[in-house]
Structures are given as structure tokens and as C-alpha cells.
Amino acid sequence: MNRRVEIHINKDKLESELSELAAFSDAEPPAVTRIVFTATDLKARAWIKTRCEDSGLAVRQDAIGNIFARWTGVEPSAPTVGTGSHIDAIPNAGRYDGVVGVLGGLEAIRALQEAGFRPRHSIELLIFTSEEPTRFGIGCLGSRLLSGTLTAEAARKLTDKDGTTLEEVRRKAGLDGELEQVKLPPGYYKAFVELHIEQGPILEREQVSLGIVERIAAPASLRVTVEGAGGHAGGVLMPDRRDALCAAAELILAIEQAAQRSGAIDTVATVGICDVFPSAVNSIPAKVSLSVDIRDTSLPRRDAVIRALEGACRAASAKRQVEIQCELLNADAPAEAAPAVVAALRQACEMHDFDFMPMTSRAYHDSLFVSRIATMAMLFIPCRQGYSHRPDEYASSTDIARGALVLAEALAMLAE
């Protein structure tokens, strides 16, 4: 390649595509809600596929709906250089999470095409299915399956809140083929780079333009079900109660304390859902279901919080005479970025005199699972006040374009 040719990111086009994609939403703007395999999500997928085809990329979709848009290299059988992210969005989200990595990745490829670059390795944009856990309770469905982290058999058992299986939902979305076929063959990737908003405040606070992610924290999700005894809020005397919500309240605080006790900034724990049954003002809670999310860059520290939760369940059960079930839904290992991919990103920043810093991702990403089968690193751009998963999530078009430019340079280095 003539690497002296300047790579030009079309900032206006990228910004207008971000707005167009944000319009595929089940929420009032500026909020974006795009749950996997809803009619809205399917329209957004069709839109992005057309965008990729318009750029001359060969588009294929696997049985879980991961979309691969390929720019075939001079050596088509050489391992692929991948980039990408997700376009599904949690309820009441913003427009940048995931989308910046997809549209920024597409623009990076277009910029390389326009600069006359001829990749030796094929470069592929990947739009992963259901990075968000909203519908099936477990995140990164597409990347778990393609990396073999989740088996087809386990995936088939997943259901949404209406009890509809993933199998039914995906077939209804027109995805035929068997989930067994989603796993990529060994050696498929040469390297993978994901561009993403930081989803935290550090870059903005430190006034640094870019973050090069060197490790991704490992999430564990648990469902805790507490069964006590319901009854009349007036009639049942306090000494006779087996209130499931009071027991759950003890657990929620125990989880928070266990994360705080770890003393490490990377240990975080959240109870994000508390479903109370029967949820009536004058009825003692008979049953409570909690969803728990625990993360760390250190597996032993993360698992210590899980054990503390299990201990708190035993203690609350004995103290309050309630039944408690603690079910581990997933417990993933953290990932380290690959030095060679980090080096490509650093070199790309240096080529343009962009300032950058090493970072840890405390959010998880599809790259966590891609790391099981490929060398990977991530590139973060700042987002206003670190806001994410909320409608006022914002990244400036200048920051997005800068990220896309560094991504393009890194892809070129990795693919030549």
C-alpha cells in the first residue's frame, strides 16, 4: 500500500449515519431502545446490511444473526483482520454504545478503500448479535457462540421473558441454519480491534483523546430467588413474618459490602433488577427475584464476592426462615489485549500525534469473547461525563472521527 496516502474519515457522513441508525428505535428520541430481533432491530439490521453492500462489501449472516461484511484481501485465504461491535441497545439507551464501533468500523473501511489501500488479509466488519443481555438474560450471544464460549445446546435453551425460546425467535427472524455452525474455525482471525465509547469518565477527566484497552473485566451474573410467606400487611404480626423482600434487602447490602471490602477499584457489584411478588401495597412480599452483576479484572477477587453472596444467602435464609436459591448464570474470565494489536493502535495514534492512555474496560464487550479465539485490543473514545446506557449518552463527531481514523490506520497495519 502507499501508506503515504492520507486516510480521510468522512465525519459528516458518519454523523448522519449515526442519526439515521438512531431513528430505528422503540423509544422517544433522544432515547434509543433496540432489543434484539424486534421488528425495529430487524429493520436496523437490514439498513446496516445495505450500507455495507453499498460499500462493496460481501455480506453474510450466520445462524445467530452475526453479520459479517467482508472486504476481500489480496490473499483471500489468509486469516482475517476483524473489527466491529453491536447495534442492539438496552431500553432507554443512547445512540453511541456499540454503534460507534459498527459505523466507525464501516467508515474506516471506506476510508481505506478510498485511499487506495489494498489489504493482503481480508478486512471484515462484524455486527454481533445481542451484545446486550436484555432479551435473553445473557450478553454477547453472538460472540459467545462464534468463539465457542457458549454451546449451541445451551443457547437453544435460552428463553425471553415471555418464555419464547431463542430458537423460535431467531427462526422467526428468518435465521435458518444450525447454531452449531456459528463457531468460527480455528485461526479464522489474524487480529480483532473494537472501537467503542469509553462508558466511563476517565478520558474526559484526564483530557486524553483515546484509550487503548489492555484488559477487559470479567462479568458474572446470578439470579437469586427468595421465597418467604405472603399475607395480609395488617393481619400478620411482625414476629410471625417471613418477608422475602426484607431478606432480599439484606442480600443487596451484603453484595455491596462484599464489593467494597475487596478494596480494588475494579471490583464492582450491582443488583439491577428486583422483582417482587405479588407487588401489592398491602401484601407481604412472598417471593423476590434479584439479578446480580459482579465484575472484576481479577478472577479470584470477583469469585470472592460470589462466595460472599452465597454466604449471605445462607445467613439470611437461617435468620429469616426463607428459602433462597442462588443460580450462577454466567461467570466469564477476564481478557488481556494482545501486545501486537495494542502496538498497532499505539503506532496509529503516534502517526497522528494523538494523545492516548492505557485503559481497563470495566464494561464487557464482544471483544472479551473474541479474545478466546483471536488476538484483540480495543480503542476507546471519550463520552460526555462517562454517561452510557442512558439517553444523554454523547460522543462528539470529532472524537468519533478520530477513533475511526486510528482504527483505519491500525486495520491497515494489521492487514498488510
Q: Which residues bind ligand GLV (CB under 6 A)?
A: 132, 139, 363-364
| Distance separating alpha carbons of residues 407 and 67, to the nearest angstrom | 19
Q: Which is nearer to ligand GLV, 7 or 255 (CB)?
A: 255
Smallest separation (angstroms) from Mn ion to the CB of 86: 6
Q: Which of residues 88-147 bind Mn ion (CB under 5 A)?
A: 97-98
**Helix and strand element counts for the chain (H, E):** 12, 17
Smallest separation (angstroms) from ligand GLV to the CB of 412: 29
Q: Which residues of 266-290 are buried (b: 16+ CB within 10 A; e: fewer)?
A: bbbbebeebebeeeeeeebbbbbbb
Q: Does 393 bind Mn ion (CB under 5 A)?
A: no
Q: Which is nearer to ligand GLV, 64 or 363 (CB)?
A: 363
Q: Does 200 bind Mn ion (CB under 5 A)?
A: no
Q: Which is nearer to ligand GLV, 132 or 409 (CB)?
A: 132
Q: Which is nearer to Mn ion, 82 or 98 (CB)?
A: 98
Q: Which is nearer to Mn ion, 97 or 214 (CB)?
A: 97
Cβ atoms of residues 184 and 373 within 8 Å:
yes
Q: Which long-range contacts (CB under 8 A, 24 or more apart) does 231-238 make?
A: 231/283, 231/284, 231/286, 232/282, 232/283, 232/284, 233/281, 233/282, 233/283, 233/284, 234/282, 236/284
| Distance separating alpha carbons of residues 243 and 233, to the nearest angstrom | 10
Give the cell for residue 115: 485511499
Smallest separation (angstroms) from ligand GLV to the CB of 292: 13
| Distance separating alpha carbons of residues 215 and 359, to the nearest angstrom | 7
- SS3 of 30-72: CCEEECCCCHHHHHHHHHHHHHHHHCCCEEEECCCCCEEEEEC
Q: Which of 312, 269, 315 lies closest to 292 in space, CA to CA? A: 269
Q: Which is nearer to Mn ion, 297 or 367 (CB)?
A: 367
Smallest separation (angstroms) from Mn ion to the CB of 27: 15
Q: Which is nearer to Mn ion, 97 or 107 (CB)?
A: 97
Smallest separation (angstroms) from ligand GLV to the CB of 51: 23
Place of cell 499505539: 346
Q: Which does 228 bind (CB under 5 to 8 A by kind): Mn ion, ligand GLV, none?
A: none
Smallest separation (angstroms) from ligand GLV to the CB of 134: 10
| Distance separating alpha carbons of residues 271 and 224, to the nearest angstrom | 10
Q: Which does 409 bind (CB under 5 to 8 A by kind): Mn ion, ligand GLV, none?
A: none
Count of other CB atoms within 10 angstroms of residue 248: 27
| Distance separating alpha carbons of residues 404 and 396, to the nearest angstrom | 12
Q: Which is nearer to ligand GLV, 227 or 366 (CB)?
A: 366
Q: Which is nearer to ligand GLV, 317 or 388 (CB)?
A: 388
Q: Which does 364 bind (CB under 5 to 8 A by kind): Mn ion, ligand GLV, none?
A: ligand GLV
Q: Which long-range contacts (CB under 8 A, 24 or more apart) does 267-273 make?
A: 267/295, 267/296, 267/298, 267/301, 267/302, 267/305, 268/217, 268/294, 268/295, 268/296, 268/362, 269/293, 269/294, 269/295, 269/305, 270/294
Q: Which of 97, 98, 103 lies closest to 384 in space, CA to CA? A: 97
Q: Which residues bind Mn ion (CB under 5 A)?
A: 97-98
